[in-house]
Amino acid sequence: MADNGTPPYLDTLEEYLDNPPYYGRSTHQDNVAVRQLCGPTGKFDYERKMWGTSCEDALRNLISSQKWKPVGIERAWYASLMRAAQAHRAKAEAQWIAQQEAEAKAAKEAETRKRAATWLGDAAARPRAKAKVAPTAPVAPAPAIARASWRDYPEEKKSARDGLAPTSMEASECARIGFTEEAIAYSRRLDDLGPRGSLSDEGRLLRYFSLVFEHDEPVPELTREERRASWNYECRWPLPDTAESREYVEKLNEKAAEAAAEAAVEAAR
């Protein structure tokens, strides 16, 4: 035990978790099962002949399967490693949420300053003759100013949208992949995308996309800075861009367009 009462091997576990991918040894006959347990962040080291993962949940599943043994970790430490992995993931999620909230707060403050500047500019441009009206009279033009501000900021009209609003990163990632607005709305009726939880329509669609499709060849892992700027901090790899994934996007866009056309015909009757 260390002087502070903490087992010294916890430093080894922390170092292991801070340096993904997490590699381990498995038998040849268990390779198929281990590969599936590694999840979408699974990676194979051809030089050392070992499977690894960058996901803390997948790491815990691998250890629980007893088909895979983490490199450099003694068997007696497995329970502690699983608890540490859970805490490590929770900490990363908390940091990501804090980052999102800070960015949202900064954006809101910038929007407020912009609104104030626009209002002051409009007020300065009014004829001075109107300033001679009684103090209570200027209240009347307020609705016109409010309507003008809606035209200046059309994106705020989307507050009537069903469900949770997406982050700007989720929206831009869906656009980059090729999903249309109709396809995103249509995806609400697709049960195979999994539970919604606290996800927006875009986030739910991107989560399914990341779990189902794989890259045709190895791709570089995202840096921490790139992950912070991506649609999900936990996603350590860029989303696949393969023939299979593009076909899925194309078909979903087509189904959504057909559904929208059918709805328009029904509404016209």
Answer yes or no: is pLDDT of 52 > 90. Answer: yes
pLDDT per residue as tens digits for the range 87-121: 988 888 788 888 888 888 888 888 888 776 776 66
Query: In terms of residue numbers, what domain contains 238?
Result: 168-268
Answer yes or no: is pLDDT of 68 > 70. Answer: yes
Residues 196 and 107 in one domain: no
pLDDT per residue as tens digits for the range 121-159: 655 565 555 545 555 555 555 444 444 343 443 444 444
pTM of the model: 0.40
- pLDDT value of position 217: 86
Residue 210 resides in a domain: yes
Residues 251 and 195 in one domain: yes
Tell me the C-alpha distance between 43 and 250, whole Å: 29
pLDDT per residue as tens digits for the range 199-208: 889 989 999 9
pLDDT per residue as tens digits for the range 219-258: 888 898 888 888 888 888 899 889 999 999 999 999 999 9
Residues 91 and 174 in one domain: no
Compute CA 211 distance to the chain's CA centroid, rounded to the nearest angstrom: 13
Residue 133 resides in a domain: no
Q: Among 121, 155, 177, give the residue marking a domain's end.
A: 121
Q: Among 66, 100, 121, give the residue marking a domain's end.
A: 121
Average pLDDT over residues 23-48: 92
- pLDDT value of position 50: 93
**What total of structural domains would you count in the chain?**
2
Tell me the C-alpha distance between 255 and 192, whole Å: 15
- pLDDT value of position 247: 94
Residue 38 resides in a domain: yes
Residue 135 resides in a domain: no
What percent of the chain is predicted at pLDDT more than 90? Answer: 35
Tell me the C-alpha distance between 59 and 69, whole Å: 10
- pLDDT value of position 24: 93
Tokens (6 digits) for 159: 């507050």
Residue 58 resides in a domain: yes
Residue 158 resides in a domain: no
Q: Round the average pLDDT of the chain to a whole number and report it.
A: 81
Answer yes or no: is pLDDT of 161 > 90. Answer: no
Amino acid identity of residue 246, one-letter, is R
Confidence of residue 1 (pLDDT cuts 50, 70, 90): very low
Answer yes or no: is pLDDT of 262 > 60. Answer: yes
Confidence of residue 38 (pLDDT cuts 50, 70, 90): very high
Tell me the C-alpha distance between 93 and 81, whole Å: 18
- 3-class SS letters over the chain: CCCCCCCCHHHHHHHHHCCCCEEEECCHHHHHHHHHHHHHHCEEECCCCEEEECCHHHHHHHHHHCCCEECCCCHHHHHHHHHHHHHHHHHHHHHHHHHHHHHHHHHHHHHHHHHHHHHHHHHHHCCHHHHHCCCCHHHCCHHHHHHHHHHHCHHHHHHHCCCCCCCHHHHHHHHHHCCCHHHHHHHHHCHHHCCCCCCCHHHHHHHHHHHHCCCCCCCCCCCHHHHHCCCCCCCCCCCCCCHHHHHHHHHHHHHHHHHHHHHHHHHHC
**75 close to 89: Cβ distance less than 8 angstroms:** no
Residues 12 and 112 in one domain: yes
Answer yes or no: is pLDDT of 8 > 50. Answer: yes
Residue 152 resides in a domain: no
Q: Among 63, 87, 121, give the residue marking a domain's end.
A: 121
Answer yes or no: is pLDDT of 2 > 60. Answer: no
